[in-house]
Every structure is written in structure tokens, then in C-alpha cells.
Amino acid sequence: MRFLCFLLYTALAGCATYDVSRLVTPGMAKGEVGALAGKPIAEGRLADNELYWDYTRQPYGYYIYRVTFGPDERVREVRNLLTPENIRKLQAGMTQAEVSAVVGVSPDRQVYANGTRSWSYRYQDYGVIKLLHVIFDSGDRVLWYYSEWDPRVYSKKGGGSSGGGR
């Protein structure tokens, strides 16, 4: 029994500590971020040459956090990339690198027989849980993107009104 309690505690502690927005604060050293948050899903440099690391709670969470470091290798900012404001910045013709710069890299990727690809993200749009789908052509440029309510959350089996009026 004691062992099971330990496993449960460890699992819950792991979930709690993975919330990068609570763990990482401005001014923290890069090495400390790596020790606390682990390996990022993506890293790169922004247009102003500042280093960034991305951490995700996907595919079941709603956030991709970008940790930006200054030239002193200290945290400048921690922010969620999956916001309605950032999603509105997406445009047809953007490259995968440009999409990654705006909303991060998706861990949910599909490749289709015709060469097109899709990246999907879960996010919250003012409390509504949605899925964002970005569709790329075979040259890795955005053809289109769209959002929908997450069917895993909002299904007819969930007991809501079917629109029949009562």
C-alpha cells in the first residue's frame, strides 16, 4: 500500500511540476530551466536572435509554452503560444517554420498519400476547448487552417441539447 501511495504521489507531482508557466520565471538561468522543465520539444532563435525553448502539454493539454532567453542566457519571457490572437496571425502560404514561430510545433502530425500534411493542436478559445488544424501542401506551405470544437469534449453523447427546443 505504501508503494502504491508513493507511485500516486510521484505521478501527481510529475503532473504538477510540468506546468512550465508556474515553474519558470523571468530572470531564471537557462541551466536551471533545463533542470526543472527538462528537454524542450523545440528550440531555435527568434528574428532578434534571442534563443527560445518550447514546451508542450499537447496532445491532451491546451498549451505550448515558449521560454525566451536574453543574451545573458536568462529567461526574458514565458508565454503560451496557443492563443486566439496568435491563431489569427496564421495565413495561407506560410511555411512550417513560420507556423512554428507563431503557434509552436505540433506533436500531432499527419501525412497523406497526396503529399499534404496536417498539424493539429488543442487550445482554449476563451474557455471553449477547440482543435486547430493547419493543412500544408506538398511544398510545406499552408493551404488553409480551421478550428473546430473538440469532439472529444463536445459530443452528442455528452448530454447537451440536440437543438430540438423544448
Q: Is the domain of 62 the same as that of 120?
A: no
What is the torsional sign of CA 16, 40, 53, 28? positive
Domain harbouring 96, CATH code:
3.30.1450.10
- Whether residue 127 is found in the same domain as residue 74: no
Task: Give the C-alpha separation, 163 to 51, whole Å.
Answer: 49
Domain that holds residue 56: 20-80
pLDDT tens per residue across span 17-48: 468 999 999 999 999 999 999 999 999 998 88
**pLDDT higher at 107 or 148:** 148
40-52: pLDDT as tens digits: 999 999 888 899 9
Q: Which three cell numbers stand for residue 65?
A: 509554452
Structural domain count, the chain = 2
pTM score: 0.78
**Does one domain contain both 102 and 146?**
yes
Q: Which three cell numbers stand for residue 164?
A: 430540438
Last residue of a domain, one of 80, 97, 126: 80
